[in-house]
Amino acid sequence: MDFEPWWLIFVPVLFGLGWIAARVDIRQMLSENRSLPDSYFRGLNFLLNEQPDRAIDAFVEVAKLDPETTELHFALGSLFRRRGEMERAIRVHLSLLARADLPQTQREHAQHELAQDYLKAGMLDRAEEAFELLKDTRFALPALRSLIRIYESEHDWSRAIEAVKTLRQLVDEPVPQRVHYHCEQAQSALAANPPNVDQAQAALDAAEHALRGASSNAGNVPASSVRVAMLRARLAALDGDAKRERLQLESVLSGSPEFAGLVAESVLNNYRAAGQAAEGLALLQAQYDKHASLDLFNVVFRELRVQEGAGPAWAFARKALRQNPSLLGLDRLLEAELAANPGSAPQEGVVPGADLALLRSLIHKHTQRLDRYACRACGFQARRYYWQCPGCNAWETYRPRRLEELE
C-alpha cells in the first residue's frame, strides 16, 4: 500500500488527544487527593512510625469528617473490639446502622459486627437479639453458632438442642456436643430435690439417640458415651437397682478403660454395698494391670490399705511405681499413709513416720503443678475433670489423664 502525505495530519491530532487525556487523569488524581482529609495521611504516618494509638485517633477523625467511609468504620469497629474497647466498637457499629442510606449488604454486616460486640462485652441478651435478626441473611451460619454459645453459657439446654438441630440442616457435619446437652438436662434432673427420675430417664434416652446419630472415629468410643453410662449408673443407684448400676460402670471399664479412674470409686461402693468389697478391689487391680493410670492407682492403693493393711498396699505401690514411675503417684500414697497412721510407729517395710512426712512435703511441692487435667484446645488446667473446658468452652477436650502422665 502506498504512503499518502495527508496521513501526516493524524500525528499531531493523536499527540494532542494523548496530552488532553494525561491532563484529565492528573487533575482527577489531584482532586481525589485533595478530597482526602489530612487526618487520613496523619493516620498512615502514625502507622508507619508504629504509633497505633495516635493512628486510631486520626482515623476516627476521618470517619467523623467523611461518613461515607463505611469500610473505615468497619475496620475501626473490629480494631476496637480486638483491643477490648467495647463501648467504642458498639458506638461505631450503631452509627453505621443509624444511616438510612446504608446498602442492605453493609447493614447486615454492621448488624453482625454489633452482635459480636455485645457478645464479647458479655451483654448476652442484646447479643442474642442481634444474632436473631441475622437468621435469614448471609450471616445466618455464624450467627447460629454464636447463638449456640450463648445458650450454652446460659445453660439453656433446650434451646441449644433446637439450635443444633437447625445447624445440622444448614451444614452436614457432626455436632457431638448435642449428646452433652441432653446429659446436662439429665444431670440437672438428678440434682433436683427430690430427683426427677422420669425427666432424667427421658433426657438420657434422647442422649443415646443423639449418640447413635453422631459419627466417631472407628474403634474410638466418644467421651459422651462414657458420660451417658455414668449418668445411667447414677440413675440406677437412685432406683436401688445395684445390678444395673454395676453393668453400666463395668461397661466403662471394658469399653473405655482410660476413663476407669473416674468410675473406680463408684465401682467399689457398688461392690461394698453388696458385701463384695474384696471382689471389687480385685476387679480394679486387674484393671490397673491392663490399663494403669494415676487416678486408678490412688483408689486401689487406698482400698488395699483399708482391706489388707499397709504391707500389701505398699507392695502394690512399689510394683506399680517400678513399672510406671511417677512422682505424683508417690505423693498420693505418702499422703494416704500419713492420713492412716499420723505419728505412728514405723512398721516393717514402711518408711518411718517422721521421714515419711518430710519426704511427702518435699515431693508435694514438685507435684502440685502435675496434679491437673489439661485442655488440649487452650491448655486450661483444672484439678477436676470437665466435659466442657471452662477456659475455651470446647467439649471433650480433656483427657482423663493427669499432666504427669501426658509428659
State the pLDDT at residue 18. 59
For residues 205-224, give the mean pLDDT.
Answer: 74
Q: Is 392 annotated as a binding residue?
A: yes
pTM for the structure as a whole: 0.77
For 39, the enclosing helix (H) or strand (E) is helix 38-48
Q: Classify 127 as helix, strand or coil.
A: helix
- Checking if the pLDDT of 121 tops 80, the result is yes
- pLDDT band with cut points at 50, 70 and 90 for residue 201: very high
State the pLDDT at residue 28. 46
State the pLDDT at residue 74. 78
State the pLDDT at residue 247. 97
216 versus 229: which is more confidently predicted? 229
- Checking if the pLDDT of 45 tops 60, the result is no
State the pLDDT at residue 150. 96
State the pLDDT at residue 370. 78
For residues 11-17, give the mean pLDDT.
Answer: 56
State the pLDDT at residue 331. 74
- Checking if the pLDDT of 182 tops 90, the result is yes
Q: Per this entry, what is the length of the chain? A: 407
State the pLDDT at residue 27. 47
> How far is the CA of 90 from the CAs of 110, 120, 125, 151, 372, in angstroms?
10, 11, 15, 22, 39
Q: Is 183 annotated as a binding residue?
A: no
- pLDDT band with cut points at 50, 70 and 90 for residue 219: very low
C-alpha cell at 35: 478530597
For residues 350-356, give the mean pLDDT.
Answer: 55
- Where do runs of H (alpha helix) occur along 308-351? 310-323, 327-340
For 95, the enclosing helix (H) or strand (E) is helix 86-97
- Checking if the pLDDT of 57 tops 70, the result is no
C-alpha cell at 76: 475501626
Of the candidate ranges 137-151, 171-185, 254-268, 337-351, the one whose mean pLDDT is the lowest: 337-351
Rounded Cα distance between 252 and 229, Å, is 7
Report DSSP state, residue 370.
G
- Where do runs of H (alpha helix) occur along 98-193? 104-120, 124-132, 140-153, 157-170, 177-191
Omega into 194 within 30° of 0, i.e. cis? yes
Condensed to tens digits (0 to 9), the pLDDT of residues 307-336 reads 998 788 888 888 888 888 877 777 777 776
Rounded Cα distance between 71 and 281, Å, is 68
- pLDDT band with cut points at 50, 70 and 90 for residue 54: low
Condensed to tens digits (0 to 9), the pLDDT of residues 77-107 reads 887 888 888 988 898 888 888 878 788 998 9
Who contacts 189 (Cβ-Cβ below 8 Å, separation ≥6)?
195, 196, 197, 199, 200, 203
State the pLDDT at residue 407. 62
